[in-house]
Amino acid sequence: MSRFWSDLTRRLTPYVPGEQPRHQRLVKLNTNEAPYPPSPRVLAAVQATDGDSLRRYPDPESTELRQAMAEYHGLGADQVFVGNGSDEVLAHVFQGLLNQDQPLLFPDISYSFYPVWCDLYGVDAVQIPLREDFTVDVKAYQRPNGGIILPNPNAPTGMVLELGDIRRLLESNPDRVVVIDEAYIDFGGDSAVALINDYDNLLVVQTLSKSRALAGLRVGMAFGQAHLIEGLQRIKNSFNSYPLDAVAQRAVIASLADEDWFQSCRRKVIATRERLHSGLEALGFTVLPSAANFVLATPGPGRDAGAIFHALREQGIVVRYFNKPRISDYLRITVGTDEQCDALLEALPALLS
């Protein structure tokens, strides 16, 4: 431990991202990346970037990009905020909107970065237990709070909350911000973006890392009424006034313009997810109903999920294992290509026996 660290640095328990193994022959099903490449239009936009675009600072307001996102979602440009991946956007949300005089509420089984941001920014929090079947108990959030944040679909469960339940959350907490973190919404469920003009306390956060295969560019966004977006802009301009580089802005605009490619890749992932779900059940797994690009599955009584994780890793198949309360008997498996998922399903019988 460095003697130059601040007290805050010493107290932090940082988020641990999924492994990014360097071996190219691994079947990588651990970080929920897209199994297919981005639109060819994206690659063309990147390649067409000239030296003058790189010599100069990018547009600090990402004006053209925000307008394209607004048109895509039927919003105004003043209802769109962008940042370096949804993690940076969420960090601004925690600091700028959720650091209040009462505790923030989020599920006990949820995105494990939330407690890290709470520690970093001094946000008091209460984790609300999911029900035994891992669904969100909306009534449990009807208590004094400084805000609510929910992943939808939830991570790592993959289970989705209906818009009617989100409406109930918003209406029972009219004086607090409700953040719906939609990193996986393109793979199932209805986006809460449709509710933005009806609720001044709703902020929806999304990413282009998953369904648009742009994890390497780091682009995330938030949608909400103009007063919420203005609050995030104030935080951004006090932290990093040029968050998105010129290449990323051009690439995202190109991606939004190729709806056919987006829909085709999305449908393929959903179809493979259903194949994977059925294949795991045939092997005796219990699989939670997923609306994401991953499944959470337990191998069943007498079978050690942690041991299976390590045995798969030795065979070159990488999935995600969380040694945490309530989900220590589960594996989170990214939906890859049909061939990648078949490799997993073919390796499992010997390990299970």
Instruction: Say what the pLDDT of residue 5 is.
Output: 73
Q: What is the pLDDT of residues 117-129, one digit of tens each?
A: 999 999 999 999 9
Amino acid at 181: D
Q: Which residues of 196-208 are buried (b: 16+ CB within 10 A; e: fewer)?
A: beebebbbbbbbb
Q: Which pLDDT value is given to residue 191?
A: 98
Residue 2 is predicted with a pLDDT of 80
pLDDT at 20: 63
Q: Lowest mean pLDDT: which of 19-28, 100-109, 158-167, 185-194?
A: 19-28
Mean pLDDT value of segment 238-263: 94
**Per-residue model confidence as pLDDT tens digits over 178-226:** 999 999 999 999 999 999 999 999 999 999 999 999 999 999 999 999 9
Whether residue 275 is predicted with pLDDT greater than 70 in this model: the reply is: yes
Measured CA angle at 337 (ends 297, 17), to 5 deg: 60
Residues 6+ apart with CB under 8 A from 123: 94, 98, 99, 104, 117, 146
Angstrom distances, CA of residue 274 to CA of 191, 209, 231, 248: 21, 21, 40, 32
Residue 92 has pLDDT above 90, yes or no: yes
**What pLDDT, on a 0 to 100 scale, did the predictor assign at position 48?**
92
pLDDT of residue 52: 85
Q: How far apart are CA 45 and CA 284, in angstroms?
A: 46
Give the integer Cα–Cα distance in Å for 19 and 157.
Answer: 19
Q: Could you give all domains of the chain from N- to C-terminal order, each with its CATH number?
A: 15-38+260-352 (3.90.1150.10), 40-257 (3.40.640.10)
Read off the pLDDT of residues 133-191 as tens digits, 9 standing for 90 and up: 999 999 999 999 999 999 999 999 999 999 999 999 999 999 999 999 999 999 999 99
Per DSSP, the residues of 284-345 read T-EE---SSSEEEEE--TT--HHHHHHHHHHTTEE-EE--STTTTT-EEEE---HHHHHHHH
Question: Mean pLDDT lowest for which of 17-21, 61-65, 302-306?
Answer: 17-21
Q: Over pLDDT 70: what percentage of the chain? A: 96
Collapsed DSSP state (helix, strand, coil) of residue 224: strand
Pairing relation of β-strands 294-298 and 331-334? Answer: antiparallel
Per-residue model confidence (pLDDT) at position 353:
80
Task: Identify the pLDDT of residue 15.
Answer: 61
144, 152, 192, 271, 297 from 267: Cα distances, Å: 41, 19, 21, 6, 22
Predicted model pTM: 0.93
Give 262's contacts (C-beta < 8 A, 6+ positions apart).
Answer: 39, 186, 211, 212, 255
DSSP string, 42-100: HHHHHHT--HHHHHSPPPTT-HHHHHHHHHHHT--GGGEEEESHHHHHHHHHHHHTS--
Residue 67 main-chain phi, psi, to 5 deg: -65, -40
Tell which residue, 93, 79, 90, 80, has the closest CA to residue 253: 80
Predicted pLDDT of residue 14: 75
pLDDT at residue 302, rounded to an integer: 87
Of 16-20, 101-105, 132-136, 184-188, the poorest mean pLDDT is in 16-20
- What's the chain's average pLDDT? 94
